Amino acid sequence: MKFAYLFTLLVLSIPPAAIAQEPGGGGPAVNRSVFVSDTIASVTAVTQVFGRSQNVTAAIVEFAAPLSAAALSPDSFAVDGRRILSVRVTTVPDLDAPAADGRFAILELDPADEAAVVFAPGVDEAPQLIVHLAAPLTLADGGVLAATDKGVINTRVTNLIVDDFRQFRFTDPETGLLLDYNLYIPAGAEAGQDYPLVMFLHDAGVTGSNPRRTLQQGLGAVSFASPEDQARHPAFVLAPQFPVPLANDASQTSVYVAMLPRLLEALAAEHAIDRDRIYTTGQSGGCMTSIALGVAHPDLFAGTLCVAGQWDPAVTAPLAHDNLWVIVSEDDTKAFPGMTAIMEVLKANGAKVARGSLDARAAPKAQAEAVAAIRAAGADSNVFFTTFTPGSVLPEGGANTGGAGHVNTWIYAYDIPAVRDWLFEQRR
């Protein structure tokens, strides 16, 4: 009764106009639109994960009759609150399908639209699009579809790459605790062949019970499962979702960290996983956890990619002979000095450390060349310590406030293919 009362007070404290309303008013969007019309059979909202958000980037509009692929323009459609960049007609509901007469119109939407973001810090919305026919459309048989007044709202959602992961639950045999996790299984895995596995550990910002949050928050997991990466490095991608924070600034870890080696063992026993090519990576608390795991289990991982974290340098000597690539921003007031101190410990214990810097905003070609130069200069190194130059992870014209020098690091760190390539070269 008490919780029901508090919930009622909370709901009543929200202005009625703020509940399920469109910015322009007029009632809930679902009641100002239709699911289907005489001409449109369905609308699918397509999302894509970026460095620190998940955005709706396309609409797939299914028509009852085939359209002509000729003379179609963005002005033929309107999408509430969105800018249409391009339109083409296809025979199948596939973003990569070529233009041809067919029943599907692919609407590319501007990912920079304010309304594009559906998941980000402070944002958690259901993907929603309302599509209108703004001008007559020519059918493949020469007929014409008239423009419509009422919009059609999406009844389907496709989440690029995110939907390629499967969700599972691990019961820890020692503690009895449950851990939800996402697993990408390489497509077309060949019988008799083992594949590497990379484990991504999220930061504290998405701690909770929704298992997909670790996939939606940024590129840490999905970059390894992208078609481009899988073409170069077919691999399992593991992304656990933790219900409590993993690590803290006192260099302590939660009980769920101790469960991870047992989860990895269970997966290796069930799937065709190459035990000599198991990798870990993580951002912030996930980076700290990767360090803690490496200290406790120095022979577990073939390679580690650490982003924007730190740990007690005094305990990190066991990492000296591991393969590590560490990326921090020089604007990160904790990770930069913390990792600098760890590098000194590793060097003192026999590690060969190669240092270098990158402009986080450099063009992909320039960044790839810079990574190649860092690797060439440290050809005999087992540890790479790379810093993003001052200001390069900060918003344009923005100050280093609200931890920007920290939280913006992984936007760029997981968007460097050459570093991911290095990780897959490592073997235990």
The rounded Cα 78 to chain-centroid distance in angstroms is: 29
Placement of tokens 């402009």 in the chain: 359
**pLDDT tens for the 428 residues of the chain, in order:** 333 333 233 333 333 333 334 444 456 888 989 999 999 999 999 999 999 999 999 999 999 999 999 978 999 999 999 999 999 999 999 999 999 999 999 999 999 999 999 999 999 999 999 999 999 999 999 999 999 889 999 999 999 999 999 999 999 999 999 999 999 999 877 778 999 999 999 999 999 999 999 999 999 999 999 999 999 999 999 999 999 999 999 999 999 999 999 999 999 999 999 999 999 999 999 999 999 999 999 999 999 999 999 999 999 999 999 999 999 999 999 999 999 999 999 999 999 999 999 999 999 999 999 999 999 999 999 999 999 999 999 998 778 888 999 999 999 999 999 999 999 999 99
Q: Which CATH architecture group holds 162-425?
A: 3-Layer(aba) Sandwich (3.40)
Give how far Cα 39 sits from Cα of 99, 103, 145, 147, Å: 20, 10, 7, 10
Distance CA 148, CA 137 (A): 11
CATH number of 24-159: 2.60.40.2180
* Beta strands, E only, 91-244: 102-109, 117-120, 123-124, 130-133, 137-138, 144-145, 151-153, 156-159, 166-171, 178-184, 195-201, 236-241
- Report domain extents, the chain: 24-159, 162-425
Distance CA 298, CA 293 (A): 8
